[in-house]
Structure 1
Amino acid sequence: MLQNIINNIDLSKQYFQFTSDFKSLLLLLTPAAIHSEAEYVEFDALLTKLDDELRVGCFLFQQQKFTALQPNYT
């Protein structure tokens, strides 16, 4: 199960990196130049949400991993 979580986080990070790179290309072209201002606003909001979710997911995963390594004295 832990390996599945690691794999999912890795895939999500790769997807986020690809999407971030795509955002950079859009900004170079400018959303107005390619007539996508409305779509860009939604895209940017969703990308920000994904970034937040990945940060929380990575934090929770690290907490879980740390807890699993602690000795059980009971």
Structure 2
Amino acid sequence: MANSGLQLLGFALALLGWIATLVATIMPQWQMSSYAGDSIITAQAIYRGLWMECVWQSTWQIQCKVYDSVLALSCE
């Protein structure tokens, strides 16, 4: 009985690990940087991921661009 409980716990942890891996791969927050000009009105946050690059502005606008090719990734 204890053996099946451990197997069930192992399966649940493995499933949770797979879900966390998928979420981390899809999200664009792999590299984050920010820029603030002379005032907070011009503040920007830049998020780069494996699939897209997003720019968040202090006016609550988000613009995302999906990469055309894996070869188009920057080496910064």
Of structures 1 and 2, the larger Rg is shown by 2
Q: Which structure dedicates a bigger proportion of its chain to helix? A: 1
Q: Same fold (TM over 0.5)?
A: no
Task: State the TM bucket, normalised to the shorter chain.
Answer: 0.3 to 0.5
User: Greater RCO between the two (CA within 8 Å, min separation 6)?
Assistant: 1
**TM-score (normalizing by structure 1):** 0.41
**TM-score (normalizing by structure 2):** 0.40
